[in-house]
Amino acid sequence: MDFWKKAYLALLVAGATVAVEAANTNYYACMETAETNVFLGQVFTVDAIVKAPELPEAPKLGNLPGFNVTQLAAGSATSETNTFLFRYAFRATQEGELTIPPLRFGNLATDALVIHAQKPELSDRMKLDTTLSKPVAYLGEPVVLTTTWDSTYQFGALKAVDFNFPILNDPRFQTLEPHEPEKEKAAQTTGLPVHGTRVLATRSSYQVDAVQHQSLLFKTILIPKKSGKLAIAPSTLLCAAEKEKDAKSKQGQRTAFQYPAYFDNTFFDQNLTGGDYTRIYTESAPIELDVKPLPAEGRPALFNGMVGDYTIAVIAEPAAVREGEPVTLTITVTAAEFVENIFFQPLRYQPLLVNRFEIPAERSLPKLDGKSKIYTQTIRPLSTTISNVPPIQLAFFSPTSNAYVTVQSAPIPLQVSPAEEVAAYGMEGTPYRTRLRAVKEGIRQNYTDPDMLEPRRPPMLGWTYPAVVLPILLLPPLLVGGLWLISLFGKKKHHIHRTAKAARAYKVYRKNAAHIVHRHPTKRAVYSELDQVLRAYLGDRLHSNPGALTFRDVEPRLLLARAKTETIDQLRELFGLCEAYRFTEHFDEQADARKIVHDANRIVKAVEGSLK
């Protein structure tokens, strides 16, 4: 009997094992790329699709022989259940047949991928140079990275430009575009494809030893987020140069700058058919930035990470108000160098305003004016004892003086009169006051006279008097109780409404974001509407006012929800892009709306997953 029991148990275990194996066959990992024949220095994308019961950890590809690898997506969810996308940007550094080894995701592994890398033609007629505005900076201090592409080739004869700018994906830096609203209108401005984006570069021409040179220059603001000696990887440029012909021919006279900077020129053209082209490759030299940590001593409570030199000025209107009436503050923060690094914290952090003024959470988005950011917000005085708007303080670290500095605006005189009285009949403040009249006989207690024995008329309404008076007496407390119940149910309904809005916020976002793809052709229009859709989603999700919402308000909630650092950094970058394009007027650069919205959806989906 024991033998049959053991045999039966063995069959059950074997059946369960087969079932598990059959279930596991539904999981897989595969790796694919659109290009297996590349040039040395060319950046190509490799996608790994993984179907697994849960999100696996991404493999480390930092020291892969023959390649420089940058991770672009770490397990983005796809439309298929339990299927994740891992995307990498590869750049071949060796010539010949290269192998991307199998990538392992937990218990799953992809197949190997063979890449054939050809060596492009090296030419001393093209040079790429990158320089920093200073070799040493403090943590959080903006530094300008200047990139110059110099060529003796006619730019009109160059196509299929592949400009790899790895600093844009470096998590050790925050990168910003300089605020130059008039640059796109300048005649010497040219659109340049850099790392999958369009950069506005300034072109110039000059001669050296009777040889004509052309150059393109653009600047990027780097804000280091980590201290130490930070090595900046070389930038690389791969392009196709058409073999030169007679300089008098139309081909020799052709230029790449027949269109404004916001239109595609020959640099963006990947079609090399019908011409005789040579692939040319160049790269910049590696550079290093020495980042010093900020001192821990003397750090003000109002310090929010701004590094540089700044001033603050405040205007308050009107100068005379009643208690509780709004006073509009116009706060102008001016930078000595970089307006892009200005961030002024909400007024609720100002110690001289707290407990003296009511400070609403809402404030308008800042406006850019030269090297200044202008913030507008209202406050309301709480007492008639207030005689001025106290100084508004701004704390920052000054690299010039190597110390923390707190500047403040001048106090602004403010006249606060008592609030207008609104009273019921007979109360102070109404024209229908009653006065206590003196009784000539005085106040006499226990006073009776013979009139008490005389028959009296029954009270008004007779026996119904109590039935009429009692409801009148009970009506006020019943009304108050009813209003209280209505208010209570109203608050509960409001809470339910907020909860419902938060629950469907992501669905509403996806619906609104989908309309952007077909609605706008330019980056400014796409990012402006995406900014509104993103703020509306976060406002509903976090029960906040969308108009006053900033990344500084969202970040603590994400940290509390233990969101991934990568998700927080990507959302910060998305906020920065939306703000940059929103404040750039007349910017009509053509946009790949589908890609912009797709990337934004991926970030918002990660945020939604963190907040659940």
Q: What is the DSSP string of 540-561?
A: HHHT--GGG--HHHHHHHHHHT
Distance CA 567, CA 74 (A): 10
Instruction: Tell me what pLDDT residue 437 has.
Output: 43
Are the C-beta atoms of 175 and 221 separated by less than 8 Å? yes
H or E element at residue 287: strand 287-292
Distance CA 42, CA 94 (A): 11
H or E element at residue 129: strand 126-132
Token couple for 591: 């946009």
Are the C-beta atoms of 145 and 219 separated by less than 8 Å? yes
Are the C-beta atoms of 352 and 414 separated by less than 8 Å? no
Token couple for 332: 């102008």
The neighbouring-strand residues paired with 272 are none
H or E element at residue 524: helix 523-542
Are the C-beta atoms of 602 and 582 separated by less than 8 Å? no
Burial pattern 538-547, b for ≥16 Cβ within 10 A else e, equals bbbbbebebe
Cα-only R_g, the chain:
36
Any idea what DSSP says for residue 235? Answer: P
pTM: 0.56
Long-range (24+ apart) CB contacts under 8 A made by 510-515 are: 510/601, 512/536, 513/597, 513/600, 513/601, 513/604, 514/597
The CATH code for residues 122-292 is 2.60.40
Token couple for 204: 């110039």
Superfamily per CATH, domain 22-118: Immunoglobulins (2.60.40.10)
Are the C-beta atoms of 120 and 238 separated by less than 8 Å? yes
Residue ranges in the chain whose pLDDT is less than 50 = 1, 8, 15-24, 246-256, 262, 425-426, 429-445, 447, 586-587
Residue-range domain boundaries for the chain: 22-118, 122-292, 310-417, 503-611
H or E element at residue 206: strand 197-208
Are the C-beta atoms of 392 and 354 separated by less than 8 Å? no
Distance CA 188, CA 258 (A): 11
Within 10 Å of residue 137's Cβ, how many Cβ atoms? 22
Distance CA 85, CA 80 (A): 11
Token couple for 62: 């930092």
Q: Which fold has domain 310-417?
A: Immunoglobulin-like (2.60.40)
Instruction: Tell me what pLDDT residue 430 has.
Output: 47
Instruction: Tell me what pLDDT residue 27 has.
Output: 86
Instruction: Tell me what pLDDT residue 540 has.
Output: 82
Instruction: Tell me what pLDDT residue 18 has.
Output: 40
Q: Are 122-292 and 310-417 equal in CATH topology?
A: yes
Identify the CA nearest to 150 among candidates 258, 340, 284.
284
Instruction: Tell me what pLDDT residue 434 has.
Output: 43
Distance CA 605, CA 570 (A): 12
Q: Give CA 56 to chain center in angstroms.
A: 27
